[in-house]
Amino acid sequence: MRKNTKATITRVDITSKMAEEWLRRNVGNRRIRPEHVNHIVRQLLDGDWRVSDSKIMFDTNGNLINGQHRLIACLISGVTLKDVTVEFNVPTDTIQNIDTGWRRSVGDSLRMRTSASAIGRIMMQSEGYEQHTITRPTLMRFINFHREAIEFAV
């Protein structure tokens, strides 16, 4: 990548081979959070992973500055990430502004539908989930499967 060029955005399918190549450019990024990688791997293998508004990003030096967890999960799982937005040649100081806000939790998603603490406790008790292992797609399948009982209880 050339310095001082205009940023470009494209949408691509990212294979595990591409992820491996791109991860070689992962220099100076934040630490890898294995629990987050495992969460994404689980979503990919279960067919629950969905594209978000978060781009894979490379700075003007060609360094990967956003997307390392998704790329590692792609590499580990062997599942192609479909239709992902990738941005090249962003200013190097952009990394300072990435992931500085609050993440939407499973509880946030659930509160949009019903009582978070009650459903979470039911899932943990009846299905054997631990609190931090419930993914949004798993939660939504649980709610949809038990909709009648949940609506009755709430």
Strands (E), 2-99: 8-14, 56-59, 64-66, 81-90
- Please give the pLDDT value at position 70: 94
Per-residue pLDDT, averaged over 1-9, amounts to 71
Asked if 92 and 28 count as a contact pair (C-beta separation under 8 A), the reply is: no
Percent of the chain with pLDDT over 70: 73
Q: What is the Rg, in whole angstroms, of the alpha carbon atoms belonging to the chain?
A: 18
58 beta partners: 64
Counting Cβ atoms within 10 Å, is residue 122 exposed (0-12), middle (13-18) or buried (19+)? middle
87 beta partners: 9, 57
Task: State yes or no: pLDDT of 44 exceeds 50.
Answer: yes
Q: Higher pLDDT residue, 40 or 102? A: 40
Find how far residue 100's CA is from the centre of its chain. Answer: 15
pTM higher than the cut 0.75? no
Task: State yes or no: pLDDT of 43 exceeds 70.
Answer: yes
How far the first Cα of the chain sits from its last, in Å, is 55
- Please give the pLDDT value at position 1: 45
- Please give the pLDDT value at position 153: 62
Per-residue pLDDT, averaged over 28-48, amounts to 89
- Please give the pLDDT value at position 67: 92
